[in-house]
Amino acid sequence: MAGGITGAATLETYIERSSQSGELFERAKQALPGGNTRTTIYIEPYPPYIERGEGCRIHDADGVERLDFINNYTSLILGHCHPSVVEAVTRQAAQLMCVAAPSSLEIDLAEAIIERLPSVELVRFANSGTEGTMLALRAARAYTGREKLLKFEGGYHGTHDYAAVDVSAGGASGSGVQTGGAGLPKAVAEAVLSVPFNDPDALERVVGAQAAEIAAVIVEPVMGAAGIIEPSEEFLHFSRELTEQHGIVLIFDEVISFRIAYGGAQTHYGVTPDLTTLGKIIGGGLPVGAFGGKREIMAQFDPREAGHVGHGGTFNANPLTMAAGLATLQEMTPASYQHLNRLGGELKSKLLALFDELGLVAQVNQVGSLFNIHFVDRPVTDYNDVQAGNLGLLSELYVAALNHGVAFTGRGMGCLSTPMTDADIDTFVTAIRESLSDVGAV
């Protein structure tokens, strides 16, 4: 078992090597609640403060270099400071950074997205994946005249109120329970239904009972934050058929899964939703969100029409982000995806071989360039399986891996970037081996 004296030694090593980050955190506590402005990156006793990134490597305030398998939670598919992106942003910054007017760049990026995604006929830009899902849900409510939303347990769709409501793992009643933290209105929780992922029977049961009230079903085709959980062979197809049958808008949240294939998860699995939400890689490292889909649904936002849905935003489609996103998509050719997906398969194979050698019960979920380690004795197909694993060991492994020059998340998730090589995969696997020893897992 991990923990105890061994875990304490790992933490002590981290603190000894991160004194500058510690000092920065003390300053941060005086200006930010808990020294933090992004809950997802906080760790005890404090996170490493990063000063520089290049390719697949980052350097913290103490000068420690690490291989970055977080990539700003999957957004940096080209790694840090890719020359094409830096050049595009530098050129654009000298010309025009933001303005209360459209630019040709937003048309260019919109056309590039439409070309890749079969579900998208029209698209609008926002500033985060949270905004993208929030507005897609608003479009669905406006289009259907219904109010309820159905999502899947453990699915992450941002931080707006409707996205933050979930049910505890194991609940299949479909009733929303406020597990996203304090401050969520009761009325919002009552408008959110939730069922287990990969459970068509539960989905059919809840939809069948409340279809006339449900505006949208929103799903990550590959569940990201929940553990890189791939859909079963029939699940997405069944979801498509069921929503079509009941006139419900099917929304694919591809903020993360768009990185697994040239045309996203919807082309990978051969299922076309009504709306798609995007973020992360389409901004090239700058803040971005987007949502798009069928022309008749997106027409809700046409300002030329009476009763249209308003959608403002000072930085929507700002030229800097558009330039960075366009440069990124131009680099992401089919060959780039082939490279990443091959490395992803290699990583999974070598991790499984390591765990087998060490006699450690573990699963590795991997789809394309996304992966998640789970210390559990059964295949991980839904959020219940994730919660049954040794989550404490994952948290300790994260800190230990930082000590060995590798960064991936405290929930065991990681992703690859195009600058990575076979040697970088071997470095990661070696770091995991040494880290497991450090925390007393083997």
Active site residues: 156, 253, 280
DSSP β-bridge partners for residue 125: 290
Closest CA to 80 of 56, 113, 50: 56
At which residue do the structure tokens 């990583």 appear? 347
Helix 200-210 to helix 235-245 angle, to the nearest 10 degrees? Answer: 10
How far is it, in rounded angstroms, from Cα 392 to Cα 198? Answer: 25
**Cis ω before 47 (30° cut-off from 0):** no
Q: Give me the sign of the Cα torsion angle 193, 229, 273, 311.
A: positive
| Amino acid, single-letter form, for residue 381 | T
Residue type for 41, please?
Answer: I
Which residues partner with 413 through β-bridges? Answer: 372
Closest CA to 171 of 382, 405, 316, 425: 382
Q: Which ranges of 299-421 would DSSP assign to H, the alpha helix? A: 319-331, 334-358, 383-387, 391-403
Distances (CA, A) of 69 to 43, 149, 346, 370, 429: 17, 33, 15, 10, 12
Contact 165, 184 (CB under 8 A): yes
Partners of 52 in the beta sheet? 59
For helices 319-331 and 104-116, what crossing angle results, to 10°? 40
SS3 80: strand
CA distance 195 to 37: 31
φ/ψ of residue 67, rounded to 5: -75, 130
User: How far is C-alpha 5 from the geometric centre of its chain's CA atoms?
Assistant: 34
Please give the structure tokens belonging to residue 209. Answer: 């009972």
Q: What Cα–Cα distance (Å) separates residue 134 from each residue in 147, 246, 289?
A: 13, 22, 10
Concatenating the DSSP letter of every residue in 106-164 gives HHHHHHHHHHH-TT-SEEEEESSHHHHHHHHHHHHHHHHS--EEEEETT----SSHHHH
Q: Which two tokens stand for residue 307?
A: 């009763």
